[in-house]
Amino acid sequence: MVVEKVIDTLAPLICAYPNAQITEETIQVYAIALSELNESELAAAVMRCMRTCKFFPSIAEILEAAQKMIEAASGTGAKDADEAWNEVQRQMQVAFVYKKPIFSTPEIEQAALAMGWIGLCETPTDQIGVARAQFLRLYEATCRRKHDKRINDNVIEFVGAANLVKSLAEKKGITDKKKLLGGTA
């Protein structure tokens, strides 16, 4: 999205936090960092932040809100750990060791198969709590890796933004790193 349009979309957010001391430079940096979002994604993220953030949100909070809104709208959000475990238990009953289990997300499948599907299916009843704990740990790690990969891919794709921030700072006459980062000179 064009930087000017991002600034327009951020305007209600700035008004919603009148005590926040937001400089023009800060808004420019936000606009550059958030320009990867389309207009409706950013508008939804701004609305979500106004409803959930007690203080003016960081760029990361706005991006996270946008991702949550995208997942909610598309139905692609990750299942929470308990939902994932319930799905594994259903597949343990339906597929057991004789069929290939079918999972709704690659993360659930990856975590379940990492435990060894046959061993998981044959877990004694008195050990199912241990298996559940191990699965939850693997599932959460898998989800974290997916989240980190998405962020890293976005940053790599968007790496040109650093040059934009630098040129903006030079235009504004900001050469001191502390001042650029919001500190005092």
Give pLDDT tens digits for 91-102.
999 999 999 999
Give domain status of residue 180, yes or no.
no
120 close to 93: Cβ distance less than 8 angstroms: no
- Residues 142, 85, single domain; the answer is yes
Q: Cα 124 vs. chain centroid, distance in angstroms?
A: 37
- Residues 88, 65, single domain; the answer is no
Give domain status of residue 154, yes or no.
no
Nearest one of 53, 15, 57, 62 to 34, comparing CA atoms: 62
- Residues 124, 85, single domain; the answer is yes
Dist. CA 101–CA 117, nearest whole Å: 9
115 close to 134: Cβ distance less than 8 angstroms: yes
Give domain status of residue 170, yes or no.
no
Domain range for residue 112? 81-149
Number of Cα atoms under 13 Å in the Cβ half of residue 87: 22
- Residues 108, 48, single domain; the answer is no
Give domain status of residue 45, yes or no.
yes
Give domain status of residue 97, yes or no.
yes
Burial class of 74 by CB neighbour count within 10 A (0 to 12, 13 to 18, 19+): exposed
- Residues 72, 86, single domain; the answer is no
Which of 12, 47, 76 is the C-terminal boundary of a domain?
A: 76
- Residues 18, 42, single domain; the answer is yes
pLDDT tens sequence for the chain (185 residues): 788 898 899 999 999 999 999 998 999 999 989 988 999 999 999 999 999 999 999 999 999 999 999 998 988 878 999 999 999 999 999 999 999 999 999 999 999 999 999 999 999 999 999 999 999 999 999 999 998 988 877 877 776 655 666 676 777 776 554 454 444 44
Look up the CATH number of the domain holding residue 49: 1.10.8
Which of 11, 41, 76 is the C-terminal boundary of a domain?
A: 76
Element counts in the chain: helices (H) and strands (E): 10, 0
- Residues 65, 12, single domain; the answer is yes
| pLDDT given at position 75 | 81
- The predicted-structure confidence for 126-165, as pLDDT tens digits, reads as follows 999 999 999 999 999 999 999 898 887 787 777 665 566 6
Q: Cα 90 vs. chain centroid, distance in angstroms?
A: 28
| pLDDT given at position 162 | 59
| pLDDT given at position 176 | 55
| pLDDT given at position 149 | 87
- Residues 99, 55, single domain; the answer is no
With b meaning 16 or more CB within 10 Å and e meaning fewer, what string describes 9-37? bbeebbebbeeeeeeebebbbbbbbbbbb
Look at the chain and report how many structural domains it folds into. Answer: 2
- Residues 20, 68, single domain; the answer is yes
- Residues 72, 27, single domain; the answer is yes
Place of tokens 């305007």: 11
- Residues 64, 114, single domain; the answer is no
Give domain status of residue 123, yes or no.
yes
| pLDDT given at position 160 | 60
Q: Quote the crossing angle between the two packed helices 39-52 and 3-16, to the nearest 10°.
A: 20
| pLDDT given at position 183 | 47
